[in-house]
Structure 1
């Protein structure tokens, strides 16, 4: 028997029936993230569609990096898994990243030169660039290069070098050498870990590249969610005391927030 998107079970919850495919997939992603893992049969019951439709939904969501496909169902993308693949990281804590980016965008001055790193948190700033009207964007992120190149009134300087598919960006000595010849009014970066009052990263080339971007900026702006504090990291990027602004969500432990405030950056707290 063939199934299609309109296959609906009569005993399914009314609120979940009749959703457009993309809306249903968004709801499935949220349910999997909340439950950590779900079986096909459970999702078919909740959303009032056939198991075959759920199989197709999960295949599409896995292809987009929004869930991890497992035998008989799907499970949430974890931070450890996502760190290996930018395709996965773009969907991890996506709403928090959007909220952080919306606040960080307010720090972009009109006609300024800004530099953006290749993190998915900073990548979310791409949606706000046209309305904030910087004169120039400097970046080593291939995704941001593509986005900015379509913005007629914003100049772009792309930092090229060795391309890394895992980060969808250019990293290494060539990028560092190019960055050393440039200056920016503001640099926006994120990182995977904050510990011992320093920005850390698990990859040496990424840490070196982020450091070179930060050093070109008159104003250094860190954008990150609170879960990165006290996380593991190996390679030093920059001391927190050298950062001018920190954009962070409101879930940071009070002790850590007090330590951060003591270092002197302007702190912009995002209510999530």
Structure 2
């Protein structure tokens, strides 16, 4: 019921007055991610609520893994810290992931069988599935299983195995064996690193599972943000030249974009708000 209650502390000069708690917390998260660090007093003035309300909001957001609590305020989660925990990754660069997902969703054909990996970037496609109407979704992501199970007109095949809380998904040999018995019209994956024209991942089991998903797909689609270029990775997943499509944002360096185009996949650009700014 708390999500439907409105605060009555809206007499101050702040920009956001009378917001439901969840909406206010989303805006607090966005503000802190933008400015990197913010104090309780600043947030109380900005959102026209008491310092006590802000303390409660920050405690809630820290528990959810969306912000890091510090003395007197909060700071944004760093990318390095967020990579360890799916709760953090879901909220890191959320707007960019949404933009990438909206572009990638256009590649889902009606009545097709699609496979989705456990990345938070691909997970954002969940919001578009009912509109795009695939017949079946194959996934090893527990979050996506929960979302698709509520969609009456879409069948789901869940790949089970050893559950890993860090990724909120199933990984390992059992998942790989199941994937080898399946085929899909299109497979959507993301990754933590691209280097030497290849997808890399810091975790061996995750890399192996992604590889098995890609092998089941007639059409292989990479959904990735440009910051993953030259990031750290150890285990090889697949060469970029083996992908049919790459969905990427418009912040990629021109030289790297030319290199990517020369590898052969169809490139689909997600226009970001950063590009639109002067």
User: TM-score, normalization: structure 2?
Assistant: 0.92
Given that 2:189 and 2:222 are in contact with CA atoms closer than 8 Å, whether structure 1 keeps it comes out as yes
CA distance in 2, matches of 1:205, 1:191: 13
Q: Distance in 1 between matches of 2:171 and 2:45?
A: 46
Of 63-72 and 97-106, more deviation after overlay is shown by 63-72
Contact 1:67 / 1:77 at 8 angstroms: preserved in 2?
Answer: yes
Query: Any runs of at least 4 consecutive aligned residues in structure 1 with deviations exceeding 4 A, and if so which?
Result: none
SS in structure 2 at match of 1:247: strand
Could you say if the C-alpha distance between residues 16 and 138 of structure 1 is closer, same or farther in structure 2, counting changes exceeding 3 Å? closer
Greater Cα offset, 236-245 or 35-44: 35-44
8 Å contact kept, 1:82–1:88: yes
For 2:8, the equivalent position in structure 1 comes to 6
Q: Is the 8 A contact 2:189 2:223 kept in 1?
A: yes
Alpha-carbon distance between aligned partners in 2 of 1:159 and 1:228, rounded to the nearest angstrom: 26
Give the corresponding residue for 1:204.
204
Residues 58-117 of structure 1, C-alpha deviation per residue, up to 9 Å, x if partnerless? 112122222111222111011111111111111111111111111111111111111000
Q: Look up the SS of the partner of 1:182 in the other structure.
A: coil
Partner of 2:239: 239
| Counterparts of 1:143 and 1:116, CA distance in 2 | 11
Task: Say whether residues 1:188 and 2:188 are aligned partners.
Answer: yes
In structure 2, the gaps of 5 or more residues are: 1-5, 273-278
Question: Match for residue 74 of structure 2?
Answer: 74
**Shift in CA distance, 16/109, structure 1 to aligned 2, threshold 3 Å:** closer
Name the structure 2 match of 1:166.
Answer: 166
Deviation of 1:136 after TM superposition, in Å, equals: 1.0
Q: Contact 1:114/1:185 (CA < 8 Å) preserved in 2?
A: yes
Count of residues in Structure 1 that have an aligned counterpart in Structure 2 = 267
Residue 218 of structure 2: SS of its match in structure 1? strand
Aligned CA RMSD, in angstroms, stands at: 1.4
TM-score by length of 1: 0.94
State the alpha-carbon separation in 1 of the partners of residues 146 and 91 from structure 2. 19
Q: Distance in 2 between matches of 1:211 and 1:240?
A: 13
Matches within 5 A, 1:113-262: 113-262=113-262
Cα contact 2:15–2:46 (8 A) shared by 1: no
2:9 and 2:18 in contact (8 A); partners too: no
Tell me the alpha carbon deviations over residues 104-154 of structure 1, each in whole angstroms, 9 at most, x when there is no partner.
Answer: 111111111110000011111111111111111110001111111111111
